[in-house]
A and B are shown apart, each in its own frame.
Chain A
Amino acid sequence: MVMRLLILLVSLLLVGCGDRNWRTAETSEIMPLLDFSLIDENGQAVEAEDYQGKVTLVYFGYTYCPDVCPITLARLAGTLNRLDDDVREDIQVLFISVDPQRDTPEVVKRYTNAFGSEFIGITGELAEIDALTNRMRVTYDYEEPNQRGDYIVTHTSAVFAFDREGGAQFLIRDSHPISDAVADINRLVNDGA
């Protein structure tokens, strides 16, 4: 009887948390389902549901960012290159601009194409972008424009991973080794977690 109770307890524990032991940072408890109404790189209105069926990696940035954004996307491309072809086919990366004034669909398309076919540029109405960032509790901020009218955008630096149904799973920071990101993405694609 005691043994049965123990087995039951252990199984409950395993179901409760054991299967979501990501090497990167867990987000399923703190982030809601991926949900947005934005514009894709071809100028088409898109909803988050349109991207269900594949594992989705989301990065918030802007194309006038010369250093952090391209380096992050390049690092992500390098991470995806370590995965098997059939795993990579089940992954899409959404580069969601937080600077839609400068980032038109054409601009985000050219920008994301440089990193591979998995990378999709997304832009949209500022109000819709705000709805998404508020929902996900991530922030961005515009600095004062300089004399050329250029402005710097401060933005969240992590890459967010969602399962095929748009459920938040984990986030990848620069401080996470690429091998950890590779392992977690692999697991998310293969196990469906």
Chain B
Amino acid sequence: MVSHLFKTPRLLAGGMLLMLITAGHASGQDVQVSNARLSLLPGEQPGAGYFQLHNTGDETAVLVGAQSEAFEDVEIHMSSDENGMAHMHAMEQVAVEAGERFEFAPKGHHLMFIGRKQALAEGEDVEVLLQFGDEQRLPVTFEVVSPAAL
């Protein structure tokens, strides 16, 4: 028990040191995004963003948020199904290891686009800025699609 008490802060300190060391690296620029779609229905209802992240860099890339001028808010969300119940919850961040791909896909991780500021039609483009943990920003163009097309 005592050794645990000693170990935990040491591990934490080690982790923080690692974060400080890696903080200067530009992981955002080493991330490629493909197949970015914004699933949207007519009206005020929120939309869902789906895309694939590919971390081509040497460091873990941590997506911490997103923003778009077309929406008041963009959040990282995850849907799950537990015992026949559909759940959804907000996530602080999504980490993608070096060399790995990560899919934001229907009924899983998605960006939730809330409070659209302008009418958006199928086929139109929406500019979204993905924010990574190291202050990097990655602009991505999402195509507006109907959920029926997914």
Question: A136 an interface residue at 8 Å Cβ cutoff?
Answer: no
Q: A68-B86, A78-B148 are in contact. List 6 more A-B contacts (CB 8 A).
A: A67-B107, A68-B88, A111-B45, A114-B146, A155-B85, A157-B81
As a 0/1 sequence over residues 31 to 61 of chain B, the CB contacts with chain A under 8 angstroms (1 = contact) are 0000000010111111110000000000000
User: Which of the residues B41, B79, B85, B114 comes within 8 Å of A156, measured between beta carbons?
Assistant: B85
Pair A70/B147 contact, Cβ less than 8 Å: yes
Of listed B41, B79, B112, residue having the most chain A CB within 10 A: B41
Interface majority SS (helix, strand, loop, mixed), chain B = strand
By size class, the interface of chain B is 20 to 34
Question: B125 an interface residue at 8 Å Cβ cutoff?
Answer: no
Interface residues of B in 78-102 (CB under 8 A from A): 79, 81, 84-89
The CA-CA distance from A177 to B118 in the complex, in Å, is: 38
Contacts of A78 in B (CB 8 A): 148
Pair A74/B42 contact, Cβ less than 8 Å: no
Pair B147/A156 contact, Cβ less than 8 Å: no
Question: B150 an interface residue at 8 Å Cβ cutoff?
Answer: yes
Question: B30 an interface residue at 8 Å Cβ cutoff?
Answer: no
- Closest partner residue, chain B, to A68 (CB atom): B86
Pair A67/B85 contact, Cβ less than 8 Å: no
Question: A64 an interface residue at 8 Å Cβ cutoff?
Answer: yes
The CA-CA distance from A61 to B45 in the complex, in Å, is: 13
